């Protein structure tokens, strides 16, 4: 029986409540409510809308700061949107926040009413005056906390950074809020604990709540929110500076932990690795040196090396969105699956890219999918699960055989699909010459590769040729998936080159979606997006 990933996803740590009108979430800290720009990673709002068709009509009613956790409500219908907007505008909703301060709290209850105005990248208070931005918060001491004192804040207005600014104003800055004078901590200790509102349909009084988890790191909370352990046991655990660990990257594959650094891990890094391995119950820990110059080196030299623990007998079997894949730590530089493509593989398997964007309106059953640079055929497996006939092309016979095994791991007969050895450009030329086109063409090329016939391939140089070649075998109305992790091509440049090439060859773009890597690979200024992806529906 094929994997079932079409049923509603169970994300128990993220979804607090859902009905026909409302979706209530427990937002983890360190994740934007919505994306700050078209080229940034998805905020919680975009991630939800692009994940499930039942969430495609979500609307934002209120927001939480990126570093604030807690109850965040979205509406799913126009009726709910109108009702909740009116409730927030009329201030008939009631929000309760909890926070920790490590400063002395010399009151039991306190009401603070000030003006709040912006100064550069932050906000400040000043006395109220006619026409000013009234900000009113009630503070109450709840009791002691291991890190200081726990307090409740009830905002009676909804100004940006209101609780943070006014807590600092009265001398109790929030722990972790260094922007407003708080002591450094592993996270901002501010949590939206509960929300009182009326149901837009029944007018029933509702209370949604979630307890804070201040002891947990933002990194762990994000992974806990988005990963359903029943269906996925392979994901990124730490992503360098984005998770405040410069130069250290950790990925979990079932009960195996892979750490990646540019040089042998330091003593401090080894301690971090050991602590995370213990916390994640990893049976074996592997280390891979990040090396851009692996061409010509033997596989044993560039493969991950075991740091400690017990190796599995044979390949490691992992689950991703219910799909089974085979992982090997001793077969070369890569282990068999690029985890940053997890959400994109899900889009293929579910035929759903985002709101009003199905890969094929009638579903992928009976469709044709071409996977170029197929590697171990992860995208092909997902397309086949959705019912497509797949053609996988790769320069390595070893990886194509690996791909055939991945089909078998998912009760798919590889003999019903095509596995073609050779250069992707050569095969595309053959298909184009024969007039063969595909409903879905997937091109996720390596940044650099070497072919006996073609020579050196560098994506930065050959992106226009790649776009021209791949688009030539996309059926009218079909979808072209293009992806790269080349550091020399930023998101805007990637999009610009692709669109300019398509315009030059006369293939109109009917529909498009840009995506970066999933949330377990966080994007920050210090750790910019490495994965750039375009989904494009092409006209004739």
CATH (residue range 230-318): 3.30.750.80
Q: b/e for 109-129, b at 16 or more Cβ within 10 A?
A: ebebebbbeeeeeebbbeeee
Domains 15-209 and 338-538 share a fold: no
Is 243 annotated as catalytic? no
Distance of CA 385 to the CA centre of its chain: 22
Task: Give the pLDDT score at 202.
Answer: 93
On whether the 338-538 domain is CATH 3.40.50.150, my answer is: yes
Burial code (b: 16+ CB inside 10 Å, e: under 16) for 288-305 equals bbeeeebeeeeeeebbbe
User: Which of 98, 137, 96, 94 is closest to 114 using CA atoms?
Assistant: 137
CA distance 199 to 211: 22
Ramachandran angles phi, psi of 479, nearest 5°: -115, 135
| Residue 2: predicted pLDDT | 45
**Residue 172: which of 145, 150, 156 has the closest Cα?**
150
Find where tokens 């086949």 sit.
384
Q: pLDDT by residue for the chain (540 residues), tens digit each?
A: 344 454 456 799 999 999 999 999 999 999 999 999 989 899 999 999 999 999 999 999 999 999 999 999 999 999 999 999 999 999 999 999 999 999 999 999 999 999 999 999 899 999 988 777 789 999 999 999 999 999 999 999 999 999 999 999 999 999 999 999 999 999 999 999 999 999 999 999 999 999 999 999 999 999 999 999 999 999 999 999 999 999 999 999 999 999 999 999 999 999 999 999 999 999 999 999 997 666 666 666 788 999 999 888 889 999 999 999 999 998 888 999 999 999 999 999 999 999 999 999 999 999 999 999 999 999 999 999 999 999 999 999 999 999 999 999 999 999 999 999 999 999 999 999 999 999 999 999 987 655 566 666 677 788 999 999 999 999 999 999 999 999 889 999 999 999 999 999 999 999 999 999 999 999 998 899 999 999 999 999
Task: List, as one string, the DSSP characters of 356-386.
Answer: TEESSTT-STT-EEEEES-TTTHHHHHHHHT
Helix 378-385 vs helix 342-350: crossing angle, to nearest 10? 30
pLDDT the model gives residue 3? 47
Question: Strands 455-458, 448-451: parallel, antiparallel or unpaired by DSSP?
Answer: antiparallel
Within 10 A of 399 (CB to CB), how many other CB atoms are there?
22
What does 292-353 look like in DSSP terms, one character per residue?
S--TTS-HHHHS-EEEEEPPPSSPEEEEETTEEEEE-SSSSSS-S--GGGHHHHHHHHHTEE
Angle formed at CA 372 by CA 262 and CA 466, multiple of 5 degrees: 85
Catalytic residue among 19, 21, 65, 343: 65
Q: What is this structure's pTM?
A: 0.93
Domain boundaries, the chain: 15-209, 230-318, 338-538
Query: What DSSP line would sit under 237-248, residue for residue?
Result: EEEGGGGT-TT-
* DSSP designation for 20: S
Domain 15-209 top-level CATH class: alpha beta
In sequence order, what are the residues at sequence separation of 6 or more whose Cβ sits closer than 8 angstroms to the Cβ of residue 535? 347, 353, 354, 357, 479, 480, 481, 511, 512, 513, 514, 515
Beta bridge partners of 125: 116
Find the farthest-apart pair of alpha carbons in the chain and give their distance in angstroms, rounded: 81
pLDDT at 193: 98
Q: Strand, coil or helix: what is 227?
A: coil
pLDDT at res. 448: 60
Report the pLDDT value the prediction gives residue 6, as an integer from 0 to 100.
47
487: enclosing H helix or E strand: none
């Amino acid at each position: 029986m094929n994997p079932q990933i079409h049923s509603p996803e169970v994300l128990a740590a993220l979804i607090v409540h859902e009905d026909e009108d409302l979706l209530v979430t427990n937002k983890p800290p360190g994740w934007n409510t919505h994306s700050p720009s078209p080229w940034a990673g998805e905020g919680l709002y975009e991630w939800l809308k692009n994940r499930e068709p039942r969430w495609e009509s979500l609307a934002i009613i209120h927001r939480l700061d990126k570093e604030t956790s807690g109850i965040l409500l979205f509406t799913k219908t126009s009726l709910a949107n109108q009702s909740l907007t009116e409730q927030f505008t009329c201030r008939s909703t009631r929000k309760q926040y909890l926070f920790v301060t490590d400063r002395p709290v010399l009151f039991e209850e306190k009401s603070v009413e000030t003006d709040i105005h912006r100064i550069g990248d932050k906000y400040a208070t000043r006395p109220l005056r006619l026409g000013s931005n009234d900000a009113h918060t009630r503070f109450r001491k709840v009791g002691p906390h291991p890190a200081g004192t726990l307090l409740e804040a009830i905002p009676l207005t909804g100004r940006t950074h209101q609780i943070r600014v006014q807590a600092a104003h009265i001398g109790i800055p929030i722990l972790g809020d260094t922007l407003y004078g708080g002591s450094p901590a592993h996270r901002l200790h501010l949590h939206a604990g509960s929300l009182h509102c009326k149901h837009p349909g029944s007018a029933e009084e509702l209370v949604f709540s979630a307890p804070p988890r201040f002891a947990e790191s933002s990194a762990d909370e994000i992974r806990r929110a988005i990963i359903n352990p029943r269906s996925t046991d392979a994901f990124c655990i730490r992503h360098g500076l984005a998770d405040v660990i410069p130069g250290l990257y950790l990925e979990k594959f079932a009960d195996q932990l892979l750490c990646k650094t540019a040089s042998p891990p330091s003593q401090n890094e080894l301690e971090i690795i050991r602590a995370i391995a213990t916390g994640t119950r990893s049976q074996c820990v592997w280390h891979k040196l990040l090396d851009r110059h692996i061409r010509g080196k033997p596989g044993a030299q560039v493969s991950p090396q075991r740091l400690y623990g017990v190796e599995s007998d044979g390949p490691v079997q992992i689950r991703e969105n219910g799909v089974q894949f085979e992982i090997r730590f001793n077969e070369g530089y890569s282990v068999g699956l690029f985890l940053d493509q997890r959400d994109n593989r899900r889009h293929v398997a579910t035929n759903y890219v985002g709101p009003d964007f199905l890969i094929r309106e009638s579903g992928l059953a009976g469709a044709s999918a071409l996977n170029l640079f197929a590697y171990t055929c992860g995208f092909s497996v997902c397309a086949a699960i959705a019912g497509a006939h797949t053609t996988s092309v790769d320069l390595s016979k070893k990886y194509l055989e690996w791909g055939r095994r991945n089909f078998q791991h998912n009760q798919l007969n590889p003999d019903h699909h095509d596995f073609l050895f050779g250069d992707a450009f050569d095969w595309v030329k053959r298909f184009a010459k024969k007039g063969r086109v595909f409903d879905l063409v997937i091109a996720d090329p390596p940044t650099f590769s070497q072919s006996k016939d073609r020579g050196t391939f560098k994506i930065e140089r050959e992106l226009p040729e790649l776009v021209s070649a791949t688009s030539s075998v996309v059926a009218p109305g079909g979808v072209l998936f293009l992806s790269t992790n080349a550091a020399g091509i930023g998101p805007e440049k990637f999009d610009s080159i692709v669109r300019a090439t398509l315009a030059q060859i006369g293939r109109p773009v009917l529909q498009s979606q840009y995506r970066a890597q999933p949330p377990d690979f966080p994007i920050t200024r210090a750790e910019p997006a490495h994965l750039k992806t375009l989904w494009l529906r092409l006209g004739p």
